[in-house]
Chain A
Amino acid sequence: MLNYLLRRFFSVILALWIVVTVTFVFMHIIPGGPFQREKALPPAIKANIEARYKLDQPLHAQYLDYLGHLVRGDLGPSFKYRGRSVNDIIKERFPVSAQLGATAILIALLVGVPAGILAALKQNKIPDYAVMFFSTIGIAMPSFVVGTTLMYFLAYKWGLLPAAMWGSYKHMIMPAIALAGLPMAFIARLTRSSMLDVLNQDYMKTAVAKGLPQMRVLWVHGVKNALIPVITYLGPLVAGVLTGSFIVENIFAVPGLGKHFVTSIYNRDYTVILGVTIFYCVLLILANLLVDLAYTLIDPRIKLGGRKELV
């Protein structure tokens, strides 16, 4: 177990290091990068940047300095907003995004999983067709289409919910649904196909042959197995909610990190772009680690660090 964690830790560090170096290369070395096009910067910021990034020093010193800052968790100052550092921005805006994201993930799981199970149980009947229909739409409709459609109908036409901004739980409903749309659809399909697979498995026959009641066969013998692929999907799910937040927060003017990320792309605020990218990567790597640990709890065949048994 310890062995496994150590190895995981090292490969995480390796991945992060590569990301960090790539971003460094983007920023400092490639001609046309941010530090070379100082034309538009006001002198105050320019001086600040030069001092901060030690641009007068040789390249390897810059790199080490950069790494040094990173290890201490300092992501540097914003290019565009005087006096604000990337860390400040993240600290201020991430909690909002986290709230929205967590809600979306909950919705996706709490709706998607039961829907998938239902569809599998009533295969080729109406509930199945309904679930498949809606899930296909959920997958094919990009989040900005879902979001804007919701906004148009629920806010503009019928006035049921506030169109944008943040504040009460009412403001959370539409963005959360828009964000949850694709993951929910995907989870429903995944659960359905996994459940169908499980229902066809031989051990289900054994359970029935023992005369066990239907509920027990379904939930204890079936669903537990069916959830395994869904748990594997949790990693990409978090990644999807994260990237989805760029659009959804933008449409609904939610003051989260995703919206700011998009703004910083517009503004070419390089330090923020790259700093937030690194932050997101760390987040995802941690999420994936947690998911892997959860996976081992459910499936006794998986030993941490060992080869997965291919049944």
Chain B
Amino acid sequence: MEHLLQVSDLEVQFGTYAGVVKAVRGVDFQICPGEVVAIVGESGCGKSVTAQAIMRLIPSPPGKVTGGSILFNGQDLLKKSERQMRKIRGNTIGMIFQDPMTFLNPVLSISTQVTENLRLHKGMSVQQARERAVELFNLVGIPEPEIRLKQYPHQFSGGMRQRVMIAMALACDPKLLIADEPTTALDVTIQAQIMELLKEIKDRLDTAIILITHDLGVVAGIADRILVMYAGQIIESGTVDEVLKTPSHPYTWGLLKSIPRLDMAKGQKLSPIWGQPPDLLQQLAICPFLPRCDFAMEICTQKMPSTYEGSKVKCWLKHPQAPQIHFSREVS
């Protein structure tokens, strides 16, 4: 099957007053049409940067894509001009962001903000655009759309605003929807509603979704595959079952272990991953997870691990000569 999106060896860096920060260091993944892929990782691991790089939204200066290719429908997005990218953004690729409060323009009406790209990309008239907006609002579950369209962002609640963002992103029927931490700024109950909505969108519209989050719990219900990122690299990837039930990388294992469960024994201590993510100013010649890894070996201090098992895990534990360790845990 022809991949919808194919990212190969992507590298992104940022120039700061302290030096050059390599935020993304050689990322490879693919997405098929209609597939939902979740990218998970801690703050600062490079997942948002990867997503923004796909849309060519990295502010430059200080950011720069220094290597790799991003093939969307066979065409390399990194080679396109700004004009060509503008035809794609909001049109065939849509994006929703983390904090709907700050990502909506406070002084423009909702109607303006939702109909803008309809009129631009699809050449609709004001009337047509407004009708489509009402349709969209019904799709995402915003009641009384006609009234709501005339209002301003500050008159909406957090969950409603996120629905508006989703409506905006879906307006032109994109093939790919990038959701950058869409529920992080919302209450837990609203979170669930939004995730339900995204699932519905995947089912009804057959849109591929890249879901970026640091919350593993959010992922399980909707994703087909999971990519785990750490220090700018994908260190493990696989189907939801593979990653959540039989993780291979110690980091993934640590993440899963650290999630508190309802059936924990009373007084049982939580087990976080000690330590901090590495300083991305440095060139990392060895495994970045080393200082925090419970399973580190001699070779981990000497060389960067290659990916094993068909590009799924980046860890020396998967080398044929390494001791066999199985991580397994029942995750509902």
Contact = CB atoms under 8 A, between A and B. Distances in A.
A199 B105 CA distance: 12
Contacts of A216: 116
Given A205-B57, A224-B107, 19 more contacts: A202-B97, A202-B99, A205-B97, A205-B103, A209-B57, A209-B90, A210-B117, A211-B86, A211-B87, A211-B90, A211-B117, A211-B120, A212-B117, A212-B120, A220-B108, A221-B105, A221-B108, A224-B108, A311-B106
Nearest to A208: B57
Nearest to B114: A210
A221 B108 CA distance: 8
Interface residues on A, range: 20 to 34
Contacts of A210: 89-90, 116-117, 120, 168
B88 interface: yes
Interface string B71-89: 0000000000000011111
A301 B109 CA distance: 11
A225 interface: yes
B102 interface: yes
Interface string B102-142: 11111111000000110011000000000000000000000
Given A221-B108, A225-B107, A300-B152, A202 B102 contact: yes
A299 B91 contact: no
B154 interface: yes
A221 B120 CA distance: 15
Given A213-B86, A301-B152, A309-B154, A207 B121 contact: no
Contacts of A300: 106-107, 109, 152, 154
A299 B107 contact: yes
Interface in A170-186: none
A29 B87 CA distance: 76
A301 to B, nearest CB: 5
Given A202-B97, A205-B57, A300-B152, A212 B86 contact: yes
A133 interface: no
B114 to A, nearest CB: 10
Contacts of B149: none
B184 to A, nearest CB: 13
Nearest to B171: A210
Interface in A159-217: 201-203, 205-213, 216
A298 interface: yes
B176 interface: no
B162 to A, nearest CB: 12
A221 B104 CA distance: 10
A208 to B, nearest CB: 6
Contacts of A203: 102-106
A309 B101 CA distance: 12
Nearest to A123: B61
Contact of A209 (B87, B95, B120): B95
A203 B101 CA distance: 9
B136 to A, nearest CB: 14
B154 A207 contact: no
